Structure 1
């Protein structure tokens, strides 16, 4: 008998890098107070770089006004970035014409923060969900478009019989399901979720988060999940990106960032996040953030966080710190990251 052939070891497939952001910056020019005053620059996003793999969920967190939503919309060119490259599956989106960008957006979609305000009150649900199909696939007939609309309505938990109703007839949670249906009707590969549950009640938040996780598995979606709520981000994300005044201060795997952060700002955010276990909540150390974030019009020199940082030194004012490697696929922009990590676990 012939000896049995040795089975080759099955290696897990290497995920494809779908999106690569390179030195992205978005600057808004604001008019001065008087007619002859020079315009001033507001740096909403500054020199941001990261990659996103197929099937991954990247959580972007930070305080209000840190540039999270601007970054998400700049990635889709809903806001035109000032500098940098957005490479989507090998194509630089910043070099595409408006016509080419409209075609590319079939694979790129967004869910907005305010579920009611993002829906046109003059259009019924069917027309709202159908609208992206008319742009992305103009060759589809009316019957096929309706079939697709009814299908995605069922997928997000809405009865197809609601297709002729108007946005004011729905609750906030139902309105967000309409927004999700509109986002997935073109069968995109990437969805930017711009604070999709922040305007909803806690019980409804859980339903929407579970729906997004289910759709990700069924459709093979890649997500960018923007939120200021760390408890929600922890449920859905594979990696965490922490933004402060438009700059990345930390990025890494979810478990690493939550358990052993390398930046004092991340540690402060984590210490403020609620923990359901009262014993852990009472025993953990808390880091209170003092003052408000500085203005992006006139940011501090060096590290932008230094004006609120409990471990800042004179050297922090000299230049913005680079992202130091603090662990496996884990980087933090702090000169004293070793001191931060020496404090131990932030969140169990």
Structure 2
């Protein structure tokens, strides 16, 4: 469905190109849910914007390859991108309050996308809109469609955003932190909707999040981002049971345990990721890593025991043990 190879994104600043994303590669297969995980500022949303062709070419520089169902998207003209967006590629943005236009009703905005891409009448488009809102679990689709974005709760706005993304039955849905700022109950409902997409619509999903719990519950495969690079990539079950990069292991160690001894305090990752203009040549996580050694100063390519599960680390998975102090 989607094949990203050696994708780099940089921003032009002060006569130089500052790298935001560096040589990342991953694949999304048909009917697969793939998670992009990492701290804020690691390049997840920039990658999604590049996939959707939403970066300003006068400021941003994109190179590498993005192939969607065999079609190269890097260098595609804005006119051709507009034909793909909404119909073949769709995106659920992180904040539906700012993604929706505030001066039009939610229903009008969903209708408009259907009319533009599929040529239906306004009445036909509205019928599909109401059906989509009902499929999203909206209790009163007509009232929601006639409401402005500010009149809806966060959960309803998120459902309406997903309905708009699915209005033309896209083949690939990019969900950028779709559960951020939602309460636990609504978050679970949104995740259920995303899991049902491949069953009801046959869609693939690229899920962007920093929540490892969401990934464990939803995704088939995971790519862990750190400082604009892929630190680890592989099947989610294998990665959770045997992480191969210290950053992944640290993220997993910070999840509260549901069973077993209760820790005094959850482990935290000290420090912060390096700024884009100050990233080292070698492992960017070395300054925060308790396992760092001299060889980490050199570049390390993704490698592993099998082609599906790879990590950019000189250590073996057996060496990544994070002891957690437990309550007596």
TM-score for the superposition, normalised by structure 1:
0.86
Query: Does residue 1:188 correspond to 2:159, yes or no?
Result: no
SS state at 2:67 partner: strand
Task: Give the deviation of 1:205 after TM superposition.
Answer: 0.8
Counting only pairs closer than 5 Å after superposition, residues 299-318 of structure 1 correspond to structure 2 as 299-318=279-298
Instruction: Describe the superposition over 1:21-79 as per-residue Cα deviations: whole angstroms up to 9, x where unpaired.
Output: 0110110123xxxxxxx334332111011111000000111111111111111111112
CA contact (8 A) 1:267 1:287 kept: no
In the alignment, the residues of structure 1 paired with residue 305 and residue 226 of structure 2 have an alpha-carbon distance, to the nearest angstrom, of 18
The answer (yes or no) to whether the contact 2:242–2:317 under 8 Å persists in 1 is no
* Number of the residue aligned with 1:332: 311
- Which of 221, 228, 237 is residue 203 of structure 2 equivalent to? 221
Q: 1:65 aligns with which of 41, 44, 49?
A: 41
> Could you tell me the TM-score, scaled by structure 2's length?
0.91
Match of 1:39 in 2: 15
Asked if 2 retains the 8 angstrom alpha-carbon contact of 1:26 and 1:83, the reply is yes
Could you tell me which residue of structure 1 aligns to residue 2 of structure 2?
19
Q: 1:167 aligns with which of 140, 146, 149?
A: 149
Q: 1:281 to 1:41 in 2, by over 3 A?
A: farther
Does the CA contact (< 8 Å) of 1:237 and 1:254 recur in 2?
yes
Which one of 190, 193, 203 corresponds to residue 208 of structure 1?
A: 190
Question: Within 5 A, what are the aligned runs for 1:124-139?
Answer: 124-137=105-118, 139=119
Q: Structure 1 residues 327 and 282 mapped into 2: Cα distance closer, same or farther (>3 Å)?
A: farther
Mean CA deviation greater in 145-154 or 83-92: 145-154
Taking the aligned partners of 1:259 and 1:287, their CA distance within structure 2 comes to 18
1:72-112 Cα distance to aligned partner (Å, 9 max, x none): 11111112551011101111012422222111221100001
What stretches of structure 2 of length at least 5 have no aligned partner? Answer: none
The answer to whether the 8 A contact 2:7-2:24 is kept is yes
- Cα 1:142–1:201 shift into 2, 3 Å: same
Q: Does 1:143 align with 2:123?
A: yes
Q: What's the counterpart of residue 133 of structure 2?
A: 153
Give CA-to-partner distance per residue, 1:264-307, whole Å, 9 cap, x none. Answer: 01000110112222x25549x97542211111111122111111
Where 1:293 maps in the other structure, the secondary structure is coil
CA contact 1:260–1:344 (8 Å) conserved in 2: no
Secondary structure, aligned partner of 1:109: strand
1:112 maps onto 2:88 in alignment: no
Match of 2:102 in 1: 121
Which structure has the greater CA radius of gyration? 1
User: What secondary structure sits across from 2:10 in the alignment?
Assistant: strand
When residues 198 and 340 of structure 1 are mapped into structure 2, their CA distance, relative to the original with a 3 A threshold, is: farther
* RMSD, aligned α-carbons: 2.1
1:242 counterpart = 2:224 = yes
Q: What 5-or-longer segments of structure 1 have no aligned partner? A: 1-17, 31-37
